[in-house]
Structure 1
Amino acid sequence: MLSGAIGARGARLIPVLRGSRSLHVSQGKPAAKVAVVLSGCGVFDGTEIHEASAILVHLSRAGAEVKMFAPDVPQMHVVDHSKGQPSQESRNVLVESARLARGNITALSRLNVKEHDAVIFPGGFGAAKNLSSFAVDGESFKVQPDVERVLTGFSKAKKPIGLCCIAPVLAAKVIPGVEVTVGQEEELGGKWPYAGTAKSISALGGKHCAKEVDEVHVDSKCRVVTTPAFMGEAPLHQIFDGIGAMVSGVLKLTGK
């Protein structure tokens, strides 16, 4: 019966779902308007899905009004997540990000800093592959032009920026002297497999501050809030709590 119902009504069902705009808009008191920038869908070639979901849950709980964006560009490559190996496919970052946004997404080129109180970047390798070339070029990497425009714009406007996991390298590249965290600075027996990223942040002119996955660092001068998330090996609920603290820190800086 279910397959028949889908076959008979599917043409109407999909537009109805895409047309819904209530999921990421809270009702009631005036809310902080927060832009969330995605980089695809999937940890190895796009946005880390758990991080994006946690950010959206915490923003929703806090009553924020959320709008999601992604650059309309090809992915660096596509990874078969069941094998951890690149495939021969080609995909678009905006199209893949729409999976996470339930279709409600806008090209990053249309993000207007004046229309938002804050911006948040989830992590995932997409931040290092699609939002920048850090995964390939290391410390000499370039930031995708619209990503750089957004980060620079929010920074100049003194509006808060939140980043987690690997995404803080974007701020380190664009915002001079920024303080961020990507976790610990030593691997500590494999608990922090990406600890070397801290050295890259220092090489870029930023200051790295060691934190645990359920902690945040708030750079009150640059108005940047960061948390390690999946840079460390930890239970999911601890990562969720760290992201919640990051979201809370960003919203506090908006004053709303």
Structure 2
Amino acid sequence: MILPTGIGVTGRGKPFLLVADRAILPHQFLKRMFVTWNWKLVRSSSQYYDLRIGRYTIKLRPEYFQIIFGEWGEWKKYHLPPFSLKGATVLDIGAGCGETALFYFIHGVERVICVEPNPDLARIISENVRSNEWNVEVQARSFDTGMLNLDFDFMKMDCEGCEIRLLSADTLPSCVMEVHDGQILHALTSKFGLRVASVKTVGKNSLNNDFERRQFRMYYLGWRFTRVREKLHKTHGLRRFYYAIILVILELHPDFANVYRARWGRVWEAYYFPDKGTGGGLSE
């Protein structure tokens, strides 16, 4: 179990706990404690964390540790299909440091194809593969629809926008994915019958906004990007061109990738199970 290392009080007088340098409210920690009871933080530094979950030890960048610590419970709800993955092969689009590969190996898969375009992250995946003796194929490149012809049983996609490329595919495999744009969601739903399991909003006025997100310098950048993108979809002519330019400027900010990874705006957890039925274990 990963225990708090400190305690503090917000400007509004609310207490919070420090867990691996992450500020978290007490009720959030209690909720995650039951999910992460067999976790152990073996080593931590400003560059990497070594996290042990059961019999596996995985190397993570600090920001990916925060992701896995904050979202593991949600993965159990939205990243698993309503059928067994025992002995299956998973195509993992947006594999990060290999944290979702770890998740699927814990749930009994035989093989994972990790697609991660960031060369530094792909290198970390390869290190985790060697240290844990996983059956993994690492593809250090961006997703393209040709990957849908690979031999796999199930696909997970969380690539912060590349889901738009699925619109050029003829068919869709059994999959779960995060969709980050309402227009893309509508297009995928119309073409393939994609269904929504959950929708969440992360932003300045969101009730679901994690407390710790307010501690980052990038907060205003993420909020501004969300607002500008919303206005871009609602305007026309010169005003639309103006907002398009603002979006490009924001995307050039060195923290933009982290902001986008932090999921500012609305995100849909969606799924498609053509051969297994669409009821399953994912709740709408």
Query: TM-score if structure 2 supplies the norm length?
Result: 0.32
Larger RCO (alpha carbons 8 Å, 6+ apart): 1
Q: Which structure: larger Rg?
A: 2
**TM-score for both structures, normalised by structure 1:** 0.35
